[in-house]
Amino acid sequence: MELGLRNNVAVIVGGASGIGKAIAAAFAAEGTQVALLDISGGVHAAANDLGGAGWVVDVTDFPALGRVAEEIRTRLGRVDHIVFAAAIGSGKFGFPFWKLDPSDWDRVLKVNLVGAANVAHAFAPGLAEQRSGTMLFLASVAGQIGSQTDPPYSASKAGLINFAQCAAKDLAPFGVRVNCLCPGMVKTPLNRSVWQTWSDRQPPEARQDYETWAAEKIAKLVPLNRWQTPEDIAAMVVFLASERAANVTGQTVNVDGGYVMHW
């Protein structure tokens, strides 16, 4: 399907690996120039693989983000699409939530929610000025169902969904569309860390290896009974960025194998 994204410029935040890198690859396959931002130095190699450019930046550092945004506009001429795919978990199994320490919330919220707001602040004025473009935030089904596994992560993603709606309303008069995408069960380091934190709290006789744990969870929770892949997520992201989704804004789109169904 021709999506009309050739010669556009897409900025993928959290693009060095995992879902973010798959999204960058999907844009590049459409002929889009990609700019990858990540806290990891691996962002340069990932960008080179795709014929793009990479910047090392922490999304919690707004002044640094502002400088990078300006450098991208100067170097590439414009920005058409912003994808926020950076995220962390608390690294702890949160059930019940009071087993966590209140300090476990701080960094998660700063990266997953405040970091997204920082990115929006850095790039939205340029999109509004050119009166075109899209912005997409990668949230999670955990932000819709109140997952008890990692309450700080779940809350940050719920906040992200709400912020995307606020941003969509603000940017709509400028012809800029904003959406949220919620993956389900995807094999990523973050997903594996959820298993690890669960496993660490189990008695030896109750522990399962990652594949067994995940297979049981998928069979129980995912009607299509299969993993979602980074490429599944990326395909929806580029569609939402295209003019084929010209009337889609302020929406939360799930790519989750049916994990979450709203009636």
Q: Residue 87 sits in which domain range?
A: 9-185+228-254
Q: Is 119 a domain residue?
A: yes
CA distance 241 to 259: 24
110 in Cβ contact with 155 (< 8 Å): no
CA distance 58 to 201: 31
Q: Is 121 a domain residue?
A: yes
Query: Tell me, what CATH number does 54's domain have?
Result: 3.40.50.720
Q: Is 101 a domain residue?
A: yes
pLDDT per residue as tens, the chain (263 positions): 689 999 999 999 999 999 999 999 999 999 999 999 999 999 999 999 999 999 999 999 999 999 999 999 999 999 999 999 999 998 887 778 888 899 999 999 999 999 999 999 999 999 999 999 999 999 999 999 988 889 999 999 999 999 999 999 999 999 999 999 999 999 887 788 777 877 887 888 889 998 998 899 899 989 999 999 999 999 999 999 999 999 999 999 999 999 999 76
Look at the chain and report how many structural domains it folds into: 1
252 in Cβ contact with 139 (< 8 Å): yes
Task: Choose among 180, 203, 196: nearest CA to 254.
Answer: 180
Tokens of 138: 């990668």
- Chain centre distance of CA 252: 12
Tokens of 181: 């995408």
Q: Which amino acid is at 237?
A: V
Is 153 an annotated catalytic residue? yes
- The total of other beta-carbon atoms located within 10 Å of residue 220's CB is 8
Q: Is 206 a domain residue?
A: no
**How high is the pLDDT of residue 1?**
64
Q: Is 129 a domain residue?
A: yes
Task: Choose among 151, 236, 112: nearest CA to 186.
Answer: 236
**How high is the pLDDT of residue 226?**
93
255 in Cβ contact with 233 (< 8 Å): yes
Q: Is 4 a domain residue?
A: no
DSSP the chain: ---S-TT-EEEEET-SSHHHHHHHHHHHHTT-EEEEEESSTTHHHHHHHTT-EEEE--TT-HHHHHHHHHHHHHHHS---EEEE------SS--SSGGGS-TTHHHHHHIIIIIHHHHHHHHHHHHHHHHT--EEEEE--THHHHT-SS-HHHHHHHHHHHHHHHHHHHHHGGGT-EEEEEEE-SB-SHHHHHHHHHHHHTS-GGG---HHHHHHHHHHHH-TT-S-B-HHHHHHHHHHHHSGGGTT--S-EEEESTTS----
Catalytic residue among 153, 195, 213, 259: 153
Q: Is 222 a domain residue?
A: no
**How high is the pLDDT of residue 121?**
98
Q: Is 218 a domain residue?
A: no
DSSP 153-178: HHHHHHHHHHHHHHHHHHHGGGT-EE
**How high is the pLDDT of residue 99?**
86
Rounded-to-10 torsion of CA 249, 250, 255, 258: -120
CA distance 208 to 126: 49
Cβ neighbours of residue 90 closer than 8 Å, sequence gap 6 or more: 100, 104, 105, 108, 150, 151, 152, 153
